[in-house]
Amino acid sequence: MTVSVVIVNWNAGEALAACAASVLGAGPREVIVVDNASTDGSAAAVRARHPDLRVIENPANVGFAAAATQGGMAARGDVLVFLNPDARLLPGALATLVDTLLATPGAGIAGGGLIDDRGRWEPGHARFDPVAHLVFDTTLGRLGTRWRRRPRSVDWVYGTFMAVRRGLFRDLGGFDARYFVYGEDMDLCHRAARLGARTIHVPAARAVHGRNVSAVQRYGRGREAEVVKGEMRFYAARGGPGALTRFRAVAACKFGAKTALAALLGRPAAVATYGAVVRACVGFDPRSAR
């Protein structure tokens, strides 16, 4: 089976070069960088440094979902691996992820394990149910998953480091372009499940995930609110009766409490971050998901 790696870039700077080097260091394979009109020279730099990879340049920032689909449809591999430009593969990670996907009966999507620059565990999968997602996909709720090493079936995996069978990806029409960024991975796994394809998480296939370089540039302290907006878009489009209402109510209460606690502790940055999430929950327009 052949593998194509798709990296969507927007002003990721030196992180993009490190990402590409980690992929190319894993052996010969097709690597496609889809650049969303970066202005920092990162696309030109990675092309000069790694002439074997392919760069697709968009004249405007079309968002992650649309650009990832663009790269996935242009790829020739039997398995498509989507990797964030601020992520770096650890040795053996790509082979482990792809081999596990191919060896697992019924699996169509696989997500890798994530750690930060200091080697600390990061979440890489979550639940579809809105209340369970908000209550159990948290620090306390994830304590057990931190120590897992064996692959297992999950609802959805993060698009940070995700492998998808090419046939399934094309059957699904790729990522839904209604998601500019955030929520598109959740949506893809949900649509795959409706076709009978399993999603698995492979903790042993590890990538080092940086500090959301592109998203922080674009959204600053509003990044967390954009994540929640993407999830609300999913629940409005795919969640079924009452799912969006439940998510908005629980999320507003959860992040409202976090805002109040941050204010009591004198943490103005956290107040701004969590307060933006609460405002996003209250002001979300369900029509944006159509």
Biggest distance spanned by C-alpha atoms of the chain? 55
Q: How far apart are CA 149 and CA 172, in angstroms?
A: 29
Q: Residue 46 pLDDT more than 80?
A: yes
Residue 226 — very low, low, confident or very high, per pLDDT cuts 50/70/90?
very high
Q: What is the dihedral of CA 110, 169, 182, 142, to 10 degrees?
A: -20
Q: Residue 148 pLDDT more than 70?
A: yes
- Parse the chain into domains and list their residue ranges: 3-211, 221-289
Residue 127 is predicted with a pLDDT of 96
Report which secondary-structure segment, H or E, holds 226. Answer: helix 223-238
Q: Label the pairing between strands 121-122 and 54-58.
A: unpaired
CATH number for the domain running over 3-211: 3.90.550.10
Residue 209 is predicted with a pLDDT of 93
pTM of the model: 0.94
Residue 144 is predicted with a pLDDT of 78
Q: For the chain, give the percent of residues with pLDDT over 70.
A: 98
The answer to whether residues 199 and 193 touch, using CB atoms and an 8 Å cutoff, is yes
Q: Residue 149 pLDDT more than 70?
A: yes
Residue type, 126: A
Residue pLDDT, tens place only, 71-104: 999 999 999 999 999 999 999 999 999 999 999 9
Residue pLDDT, tens place only, 167-201: 999 999 999 999 999 999 999 999 999 999 999 99
Q: Residue 150 pLDDT more than 80?
A: yes
Residue 289 is predicted with a pLDDT of 61
Q: Residue 286 pLDDT more than 90?
A: no
